[in-house]
C-alpha cells in the first residue's frame, strides 16, 4: 500500500498483539443458512482460528490470513448472486486480548499486507476507524490526526473515497475495499497501540440500480 513502508526487526506476533476480527455475513435471501455455511467453509490455513456463534464469527491469526479469509468468505457468498452485506470489525492492541508480557514499550507491528487478488465483485462500503490514542507519558493523544492520515492513505491507494456523515465511503473491488480498510488500520497501528476499524460492505444491492430503495427517506 502506498505510503506504508515496512520497518526492520521482528514484529510481535499477531497473538501477542491481540490481532483479530469479527464479521457477520448477511445474504438477503431466504436460502441464507446454506449461503452462510458455504461461505464460512471456504479453504483457509489450519492455523487460522474461526469460531462462529449466532451473532458473528470470530477470526484470529496473522493479519494476512485474516484478511484473505474475509475476502474469500464474502466473495463466496456474493458468488451466489444474492445481495450480500458483510459487517467487519478488525482490532489490534485491545488490552483484554493481548497476550501477557506485552509492555507499553513494545513498538506496534509495522506489517505490510500482501496485495489481495481482485474478486470481480464491485463493493460499496461505509468505513470508520478508531485509533484509541490515550497519548503517552509526554501528554495527550490526537486520534483525529490519525484518522485524517488514514483517509489520505486510502485516497493514495486509488480506491474511490468520499466523506459521508459519520463514515467514509469506499467503492471498488471487494479486495480493494478490504485492502484499504486493513492497510490503514495497520498503518495507524504503527503509532497507536489499540486500533479498531469497522466497515459495512455491500455487494449486489439492487439499490445501486434501483433508486426506489436508495431514495427511501
Strand partners, 161: 170
Residues 66-105 that bind a second copy (CB under 8 A): 83, 85, 87, 89, 91, 94-97
3-state SS class at 152:
helix
Give the three-state DSSP class for 162: strand
CA–CA separation, 8 and 180 (whole Å): 23
| Binding test (CB under 8 A) with a second copy, winner from 2, 6, 7, 41 | 41
- Binding to a second copy (CB under 8 A) within 177-216 occurs at 194, 196, 198, 200, 202, 205-208, 210, 212-216
DSSP per-residue codes, 109-145: P---PPPPPP-S-EEEEEEEEEE----BTTB---HHH
Which residue, chain included where needed, has cell 446454506?
34
For 124, half-sphere exposure in the C-beta direction (CA atoms, 13 angstrom radius) is 11
| Residue 48 binds a second copy, judged by CB under 8 A | no
Q: Least separation, in Å, of the C-beta of 93 and a second copy?
A: 11
Site size toward a second copy (CB under 8 A) is: 74
Residue 42 or 112 having the CB closest to a second copy = 42
Sign, Cα dihedral of 54, 55, 56, 58: negative
The residue within the footprint of a second copy, chosen from 12, 17, 60, 159 (CB under 8 A), is: 60
The answer to whether residue 15 forms part of the interface with a second copy (CB under 8 A) is: no
Q: Interface residues for a second copy in 131-150 (CB under 8 A)?
A: 131-137, 139-144
Nearer to a second copy, 115 or 162 (CB): 162
Region near a second copy per CB under 8 A, out of 61-69, 101-109, 130-138, 182-190: 130-138
Residue 192 has phi, psi (to 5 degrees) of: -130, 135
Closest contact distance (angstroms) between CB of 176 and a second copy is 16
Amino acid at each position: 500500500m502506498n505510503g506504508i513502508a515496512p520497518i526492520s526487526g521482528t514484529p510481535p506476533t499477531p497473538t501477542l498483539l491481540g490481532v483479530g476480527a469479527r464479521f457477520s455475513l448477511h445474504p438477503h435471501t431466504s436460502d441464507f443458512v446454506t449461503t452462510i455455511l458455504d461461505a464460512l467453509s471456504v479453504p483457509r490455513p489450519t492455523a487460522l482460528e474461526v469460531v462462529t456463534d449466532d451473532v458473528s464469527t470470530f477470526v484470529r491469526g496473522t493479519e494476512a490470513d485474516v484478511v484473505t479469509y474475509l475476502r474469500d468468505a464474502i466473495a463466496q457468498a456474493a458468488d451466489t448472486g444474492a445481495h450480500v452485506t458483510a459487517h467487519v470489525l478488525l482490532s489490534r492492541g485491545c488490552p483484554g486480548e493481548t497476550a501477557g508480557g506485552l509492555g507499553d514499550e513494545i513498538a506496534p507491528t509495522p506489517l505490510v499486507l500482501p496485495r489481495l487478488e481482485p474478486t470481480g465483485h464491485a463493493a460499496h462500503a461505509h468505513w470508520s476507524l478508531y485509533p484509541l490514542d490515550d497519548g503517552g507519558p509526554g501528554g495527550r493523544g490526537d486520534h483525529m490526526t490519525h484518522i485524517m492520515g488514514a483517509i489520505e492513505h486510502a485516497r493514495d491507494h486509488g480506491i474511490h473515497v468520499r466523506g459521508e456523515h459519520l463514515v467514509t465511503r469506499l467503492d471498488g473491488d471487494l479486495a480493494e475495499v478490504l485492502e484499504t480498510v486493513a492497510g490503514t488500520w495497520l498503518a495507524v497501528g504503527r503509532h497507536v497501540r489499540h486500533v479498531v476499524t469497522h466497515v459495512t460492505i455491500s455487494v449486489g444491492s439492487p439499490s445501486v440500480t434501483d433508486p426506489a430503495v436508495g431514495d427511501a427517506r
